[in-house]
Structure formats: C-alpha cells, structure tokens
Structure 1
C-alpha cells in the first residue's frame, strides 16, 4: 500500500488534476486532505479504475491487496460479503488518520459479525433494494433492537454499498427506509437530586463493593490487583463535572497540566483539554470548580500524585485509561443505585453523561443573561445541540421567577 500525491494520482489514472479534485469533492473518488495536501492510497485508485472494467467471462479479479478477497468483476453477481473487507480497509485507514476511533471500528466489526453479514451472506449487491432493507429492519425490530441502533446498522450497510457505487459496481444507491429514532435526552439532575448524589457518594467513601461475601477485585495492570472501593474522589468528580461542563470521555485525558487556576476579576479554572469532537478551545469552569480541584490536588499529592502529567481521576490507572473510564462509570452507577437515582423522570437510564447535562441545564436555568452561543462554545458543543438535547427537557415552571419577571421602566431606572 502506497500513498500518492495529486500529481501522482493524476499520472496513475491518466486524468487531469482538476478532474480528480472534482471527483473527490463530489464523492466519486476516495481521497483525504491532510495539511492542505490531497493524498490518495494506490489500492483505492486501483479499485476505482477496476470499476470501469468491462465484464469478462472470468468472474473474479485479483485484489490489489493480497490480504483481501478478490472482487467479482461481474457487476450483477458481486456479493455483498466480497465488499465488506474493502469497506473495513477504508475504515482502518480512517483510524490511522485519526478520523475514527479504534472503539468505533470495533463496534462496526461487531455489528457486521452479529447481524449484517449473516443476513446478507450470499446476497448479490444488485439484489439489495428497499424491500430487502425493510425486511432486515423488521428482523432487528423483532429482536428488540431500538431505532438508534437500527440506524447505525443501516449506516454500515450504506458504507458497503457506497464503496460499490464509487467503484462503479452499482449505478446508484438503493432507497433506504426511514427509521425514526425517538429523542430521549439523558436528562439533568434536579438541585435536590444533585445534593443527594453528593451526600450518597460521600457516605459511601471507602466502602468495598461486595460480591458473594467478598470484595470485588479490579486489575490495575498485568500484575497488580485491588479491591473495588468507593474513592472519596467520586464526590469531587461529581462536583467537578457539574461545575466544568466536561464530557465523561474527558475524564480519560484530563491531567493536572491541563488545569490552570485563574484568580482575577473572576475566579475559575481554565481547562486546556485535548481536542474533542473538533473543538479545541479552553473550557472555563464555575468558581466552585476551583475549590473542588484544590481539594482533589491536595489529596492526590498526599498519595504521591498531583504532578503535571498525572491524571486528575484514578491516576493509579495511568496506562489503562479506557479501563479507568469504564471503572468510573461503574462506580457512578453504584452511587446512583444507592441514591435511588438510576432512572430519570421519563425512565431513561442515567450515566456519567447526565452530569454534563446537569452543568449545561443549570446555566440555562440559573445563569443570568448567558447566551446560548457563549455557553455552547464553552461546553465544546453547538447551539443546535443545546436546543435539541440539553434544553429539550426544560419547561417554564423550572424557572418561574424569570418567566414572571417584569422590565424596569426607563423613567424609574433613570430616576434611580
């Protein structure tokens, strides 16, 4: 596998650079723009070129990648299963370029193996149409798979068929059935629920999680094992998230070097976290976040941590951050269970993400004069996402005082 520049791709395909750029922009040719330079993978270009082959008596052709199965040249008999490895290769390249996470790729592989490949096994791409896709959706529905997950399965199928389209094995994509995924906001905690969470987490500190009359164990690494005990940091984690707007995934990456105490006209933390979801601006916390962080740092230093490259939460699991995040999720679920808050008012299962919802919802309710754009930028999201998800659970009664407020007459204001 070799990377080609625009000029090299032009020579490879015998097409003008302008024509190649046009095909990339319209989605007819795979390419990636990195550091303002358009790059291609030779095997992708070979697949594109092979799509123009005239059907021959031979039904298969040698794949440019020896690790992949040959692709059927006969467009009408090309099997769906033959194209899956090629779609996965494209996804693997996206992981290498940092456009896709390894976890997302693993989820795609699992979904392919569990439902997609068994259903479409032996099926030619020419046979896949609206009726076939509708029947697939019905099978998922009968297996109690919900709308959001069904949509993700359809995205995988679309990617495989899109590869067939780009390589001219089909002339158009089939019409996909529409699946309505009901919007179910994770929901925020009320003030009373938030206080109950903090009190419960603090009351549970240093308690072991018991399984069959003995503490549950967790592996720190290949050789070290520790009992599952509720850390005092869990109370601080809850407070920190509600006062900082961070996502649960940020807990994996946030280190002390990312935190700066700003003590000026306002007292707050400036969080310069790694880029997430194409957002890289610093996050400004509320004042309460400063006190929480100071207590967190003091406790960390007493245990030999707190250095710039140490993580704020579970620094003991520095080499297993994915595992650390799952462990924090387990501990929070344990707190929710003890506080009788595992489910929201609409029956939705609560997770660490509800703490981010709480942070944003409290600013919408109690942040005097805060505008959505400022809030969205500070929370590393968009105004649309705030209106669609975070504000979707609000109602007028939640801030009755603001709703009943009156403007001060100018004459009175000037007189004062």
Structure 2
C-alpha cells in the first residue's frame, strides 16, 4: 500500500522514506519480541534490492563558496548602523567558520568558547584552531584551516563571551537557508538542495581538491574513509591520477638484425 501514490498529492514515497519507516517498524517489532508479545521477528528484507544511485553531497565549489561568503560579507556592510547587524555579522562568521572546520551543524550548536584554542601548527607554522568537538560520535578533536582563525577572533571581540558561553547561541541553520537562495546557489546542478550541512561537505571537498590525505580528513571530520570515498571523492576530478590512468606499456624493442 505504501507504494501507491498519495490520494491527495499523487506522490509516491521515496526510497529514503520507505527505509526510515522500515527501520522504525523493525525497532517496534524488536521491542515486542523482547517483551514476549511475539514469538519471532518477521523478515523485513526486500526479496531483491536494485542497486541504488550513489549521489554526492551538495557542496559549494571554490567559485561558489567565494560567491557565498562575498554575499554574506556585503550584507554585513549594508547593515552598518542597523539594529540587526549583529545576527548578520554572526552569520557571516558562521559561514567562514564552518567551511574551514568541517563541523556538523549540531556540533557547532554545542560548541562553547572554552572548547576552542588558537595554536600554531607545528607543520605549517600557521595559526589554526584546535577544537574539542561534542557531537553524535561523542567527544573528538578537530584542527581547522587557518581560514577559521579570523572569524573566531571576530566572534570573541564582538560578543566578549564567558568561557562557558556558546559560540553560536542562536541556531544559524534557518538564517543560512535563505542566503544561498539570494545568491542563486540553493541547488547544485544535480538538483540537490544546499543547507548548512553543505558547508561541512564544502570543507571536505576543498581539502580533497587540495590533495589532503583522505584518512586524515576522515579522522579530522570524525567520519570514515568509506563515507568520504562514497559521497565525496567519487565526483572530484582531482582524485583521479591521470599518470596512473594513462600508463602505457613500453613498446617492444625491434629485434636486432
């Protein structure tokens, strides 16, 4: 019945909606099994499974990212002297901070000022942020690019916070969602909708384009190499080694007379 079109909208449930509903139903049945209400767990697996399309996560290319933060910076300038300049400036710093750290939006919402330390990177001698991240993976650490330092400095100067204050006390996702639409960047060329999560995807893709080690990216973003290879690296041209692809077998030397 769930595969039938909706009587009002005429839409058919998507693959992801059916998956979520199946998972929910399976959890309900497991609870019933633990309480002894049923004798066995029904098999919810599909008789066959078609190979699903592997889609990449929506992100901002280097040109699009520049267009995005240029727009948010101009909004700050246009609101000079206005009462709402503070949230506009906070959003601009949020865009730069997120795209240079790779944090998930929920991780950024939990972030306190005491979780962030400015330090000098031993390898590059550049100033970076060392961030103690609390999120769905528990507690982990993140080292930012140098591009996250100035936004954090601006946040500190603007808000004069206590160590336990939240870096982003207001959830920036709703405010951010309007900005890509203003820049005509709401959707990528495949029709994927961009959101605050796209800033994390942008961080990962830009690091891959710069040639960073995929294992180190996964470790820094508290995810797996498999996830990055499946959803990010698969569509980036820089991850293909032309020298390895275009290798040629040496021609056989002509036999000597």
TM-score by length of 1: 0.51
1:329 correspondence with 2:184: no
Q: Radius of gyration: which is bigger?
A: 1
How far is the alpha carbon of 1:386 from its aligned partner? 0.9
Q: Secondary structure at the match of 2:42?
A: coil
In structure 2, what is the equivalent of residue 200 of structure 1? 71
In structure 2, what is the equivalent of residue 355 of structure 1? 199
Larger RCO (CA within 8 A; separation ≥ 6): 2
* Inter-partner Cα distance in structure 2 for 1:229 and 1:300: 9
1:247 correspondence with 2:108: no
In structure 1, what is the equivalent of residue 42 of structure 2? 174
* Inter-partner Cα distance in structure 1 for 2:116 and 2:68: 25
* Inter-partner Cα distance in structure 1 for 2:137 and 2:174: 28
* Inter-partner Cα distance in structure 2 for 1:283 and 1:145: 38
The partner residue of 1:272 within 120, 123, 132 is 132
* Inter-partner Cα distance in structure 2 for 1:380 and 1:165: 34
Q: Secondary structure at the match of 2:128?
A: strand
Cα distance change of structure 1 residues 162 and 234 upon mapping to structure 2, 3 Å threshold: same
Q: How does 1:8-407 map to 2 (within 5 A)?
A: 135-138=1-4, 143-178=11-46, 182-205=53-76, 231-265=88-122, 266=125, 267-274=127-134, 276-301=135-160, 306-313=161-168, 315=169, 324-325=170-171, 328-367=172-211, 370-394=212-236, 396=237, 398=238, 403=242
* Contact 1:207/1:229, CA 8 A, preserved across alignment: no
* Inter-partner Cα distance in structure 2 for 1:334 and 1:229: 17
How far is the alpha carbon of 1:228 from its aligned partner? 9.8
* Inter-partner Cα distance in structure 1 for 2:6 and 2:235: 29
Q: Give the root-mean-square deviation of aligned CA atoms.
A: 2.9
* Inter-partner Cα distance in structure 2 for 1:399 and 1:182: 20
Structure 2: give runs of 5+ residues left out of the alignment.
245-257
Cα distance change of structure 1 residues 228 and 147 upon mapping to structure 2, 3 Å threshold: farther
Q: Number of aligned residue pairs: give it.
A: 234
